[in-house]
Amino acid sequence: MVNLREVIVKAVVEGLRVASILLPPDVKEALRRVYEEEVSPAAKAQLEAVLRNVELAERLRAPICQDTGLITYYVRAGARFPALDVVEEALVEATRIATKEIPLRPNSVDPITGRNPGDNTGRYTPVVVWDSIDPKGDYLEVTIVPKGGGSEYVAVFTMVPPGRGLEGVKEVVLDAVVKAGAMPCPPTIIGVGIAGTVDMAVHLAKKCAVIRKVGSRHPEPAVAELERKLLEMVNELGIGTMGMGGRTTALAVHIDYAYRHPATYAVAVVFQCWAARRATVTIKPTGEYSITQ
């Protein structure tokens, strides 16, 4: 009988290797497009360096960035997947093995003692988000996101006075982009979450920044239009690639929302850097698995 715990470990180590080394095709395509469109020589030189970096990582099978990130796993599972009970321990083990084998920089640090266990694990680390359960499914899907500290550092959460509504959201986003400057290594992908509670706003913003493909639009036309408008406004700020000016500060603005309480209007902004790493591993009960980006 197939040992699904072993399969999960093997598949996730492989997925982490793919995510750390290969930039997803939608991000690569977007970077190439903005390189072609760039008119500022300084920004164009930076974009050229970024694209060369991406190519070298592929060729040398080396991580795209020296900051190999803190690892988050977004888990979507079918309720009929037969090994749900061992998923979390398998993800921790995969993280330990991948840190040694790829190798990944040991980035997880105890905030109380300052101790670094050296294997990217620790209390609530890697971060495991049980994103959804499909009542009829029998698969396990893990989206692997190794995310750098520079882009996470500039995330913003605030409560907007409910009367300000979407004008308030625009202000929060533009203010966050200006304050972030070059810190998140632009061009970035900006995730915006609007909700009634702090946790939901941050959760939605983070998913928008790290999981949604560049080039996708929110299915609701009004939200899609707000994404388009905000991207235009962000790029008019002129911060540009690595803060060197030029046409592109962000590759995309992705927005999602949840219903709110009449008295609350929670807005979160999460940045993803140009090294927008992700890979999704899908495992069947038979032990077969695939990796997509």
**Contact residues for ligand SF4 (CB under 6 A)?**
65, 67, 148-151, 184-185, 273-275
Residue (154 or 291) nearer to ligand SF4, CB: 154
CB nearer to ligand SF4: give 96 or 105.
105
Cβ closest to ligand SF4, residue 54 vs residue 195: 54
Please, which residue, 49 or 178, has the CB nearer to ligand SF4?
49
Closest distance of CB 69 from ligand SF4, Å: 6
Q: Which is nearer to ligand SF4, 46 or 289 (by Cβ)?
A: 46
Closest approach of ligand SF4 to the CB of residue 150, in Å: 3
CA 211 to chain centre: 5
As measured in angstroms, the least distance from the Cβ of 67 to ligand SF4 is 4
Query: Of all residues in this chain, which one has the CB nearest to ligand SF4 in the complex?
Result: 148
Of residues 4 and 275, the one with the C-beta less far from ligand SF4: 275
Measured from the CB of residue 83, what is the shortest distance to ligand SF4 in angstroms? 32
Cα(176)–Cα(190) distance, rounded to whole angstroms?
10
Q: Shortest gap between Cβ of 185 and ligand SF4 (angstroms)?
A: 3
d(CA 3, CA 196): 42
Q: Compare residues 67 and 256 and give the one whose CB is closer to ligand SF4.
A: 67
Tokens found for residue 270? 């999460």
Residues 6+ apart with CB under 8 A from 22: 57, 58, 64, 279, 293
Query: Residue 267 — φ and ψ, nearest 5°?
Result: -130, 130
Cα torsion 39, 173, 130, 148 to 10°: value is: 50
Q: Write down the least CB distance from residue 272 to ligand SF4, Å.
A: 8
Nearest Cα to Cα of residue 73 among 119, 122, 127 = 127
Backbone phi and psi for residue 76, each to the nearest 5 degrees, phi listed first: -115, 125
Nearest to 215 by CA among 166, 136, 150, 276: 276
Helices marked H in 22-125: 25-37, 41-60, 87-101
- Surface-to-core class of residue 122, CB atoms within 10 Å of its CB (0-12 exposed, 13-18 middle, 19+ buried): middle
- Which of 39, 260, 269, 292 lies closest to 144 in space, CA to CA? 292
Least distance (Å) between residue 66 CB and ligand SF4: 7
